[in-house]
Chain A
Amino acid sequence: MRPEFPAIHEIWVYLSGSPLLALVLTLAAYQIGVMIYERSSLHPLANPVLIAVTLIAATITAIDMPYPKYFEGAQFVHFLLGTATVSLAVPIYKGLPSLRGRLLPLAAALLGGGVTSIVTAVVLARLLGADETVVGGLYAKSLTAPIAMGVAERIGASPTLTAVFTVTTGILGAALGRFVLDAVRCREWWQRGFAIGVASHGIGTSRAFSVHAEAGAYAGLAMGLHGVAGAIVIPWAISALR
C-alpha cells in the first residue's frame, strides 16, 4: 500500500479538468482518420474529418463529457481557423495566372454554380420539411469550411451544422463528381476541375489533384474564389432579402 500514489479517479478528475485531454483526443482522432484515409488509397468516403468527428463524438459520449467541456479544450485548434483562412491568400495568388484568357467562362461558372448550390439546397430542404436551423446551415455549405463557418456566424446560422454540411458536401462532390461531369459531357480537365472546386471546395480539390494536376489546380482556384466571393455576397444577400 503506497498512500502517496493517487487513486485512478483522482488522476481522471485532474486530466478531464485540463485542456490536454480534449486536445490530445482531437489530434489523435484526426491522426487515425488520416491513417485510414491513406490505407484506403485516398477514397473520398474515408474522409479523415468524418472519421475523427465520429471517433470523438463516440468517445465523449462514452466518458460522459459534455460538448461545451470538450470544446473548451479543443478551442486552441478551433482558433487557428481564422489564421488558416488568411493563409488561403497564398494558393489563390499562385492560381491567378490560370485565370488568364478564361476569366469569363470561369467567372460565369462560379456565379451559376454558387447560386445553384444555395437555391437547390435551401428550396429542397424546405420542401421536405427541414426547419430553419437546418436550412441556415445549408447556405454556406459549398464554401471551404473555415470560410463557411465564418459566414455562418455572420448570418446567424449554426457554425457546427455548417461545418458538418460542408464536409458532407465535399465528400459527396468528390465521390459523385466524375459521374455528373461525364453525364453533362464535360471533358476538358480545367472545366472538370473548376466545377468540382465550385461545388465541393477542399475535399473535391484534393480528389481532383489525385486524378489530374490541371484539374486540381483549377479546383483549388475555384475553391478560393468561391470562398471569397461567397463570404462577401452571401451575408449581404441574406440581409437584403430579410
Chain B
Amino acid sequence: MIDGLVRILVFQGIGEVVAKFVFPLVPGPVIGLVLLLAFLAWRGEVGEGLEFVSSAFSRYLGVLFVPAAVGVVMFWPHLQRQALAIIVALVVSVAATIAVSAVIARLLGRGKSDAA
C-alpha cells in the first residue's frame, strides 16, 4: 500500500514542478496524472499497491471536496440573489451536454456497433 502511495506522491511532485516551470496553465496534479498514465502504459501493468491506493481514493473521492464546498456559506447571500440564473444554467447545460454527446456518439458510432 505504501509503495503505491509513494509512487502517486512522486508523480504528484513531478507534476507540480513541471506545472510551475513548463506549463503554468495546467494544474500540477493533472500533469502528474498524465505522466503516471504514460508510466503505466510503458510498464504494461498497474501493480498491487497502486491498485489498492487508487481504488481507495475512487471510493472516498467525495469526502475530499467537502471542505472546499462548505465555503458556500460565505457565498450564500450572493447565490440566493442569482439562484434562478444558476439553476436554469446548470439544468439546461447538463441536459444539452448529455444530448449533444449522445447524438454525436450515435451518429458516428452507428455503423460500428451494427457491425460488431
Q: Select one of B68, B85, B116 contacting A149, CB under 8 A.
A: B68
A145 touches B61 (CB 8 A): yes
Q: Which residues of A sit under 8 angstroms from B33, Cβ to Cβ?
A: 85-86, 88-89, 92, 228
B30 touches A120 (CB 8 A): no
B97 touches A87 (CB 8 A): no
Chain B interfacial residues counted at CB < 8 A: 74
* B82-103 CB contacts (< 8 Å) to partner A: 82, 84-86, 88-103
Cβ of B74 within 8 Å of any chain A Cβ, yes or no, is yes
* A6-50 CB contacts (< 8 Å) to partner B: 22, 26-27, 29-30, 33, 47-49
Q: Select one of A101, A172, A181 contacting B90, CB under 8 A.
A: A172
A150 touches B46 (CB 8 A): no
Tally of contacts, chain A with chain B, CB under 8 A: 335
Chain A interfacial residues counted at CB < 8 A: 114
How far, in Å, is A83 (CB) from chain B's closest CB? 6
CA A70 – CA B68 in complex, angstroms?
10
A165 touches B90 (CB 8 A): yes
How far, in Å, is A86 (CB) from chain B's closest CB? 4
Residues of A at under 8 Å CB distance from B? Answer: 22, 26-27, 29-30, 33, 47-49, 52-53, 56-57, 60-61, 67, 70-71, 74-75, 77-78, 80-94, 96, 101-102, 104-106, 108-110, 112-114, 116-117, 120-122, 124-125, 128-131, 133-134, 138, 141-142, 144-147, 149-151, 153-154, 158-161, 163-169, 172-173, 176-177, 180-181, 183-186, 188, 190-192, 194-196, 198-200, 202, 222, 227-228, 231-232, 235-236, 239
Give 9 A-B pairs besides A128-B84, A147-B30, A167-B69 with Cβ atoms closer than 8 angstroms.
A81-B64, A84-B61, A86-B12, A90-B36, A116-B93, A158-B71, A169-B90, A180-B95, A186-B105
Residues of B at under 8 Å CB distance from A? Answer: 5, 8-9, 11-12, 15-16, 25-30, 32-34, 36-37, 40-41, 46, 50-51, 53-55, 57-58, 61-75, 78-79, 82, 84-86, 88-109, 112-113, 116
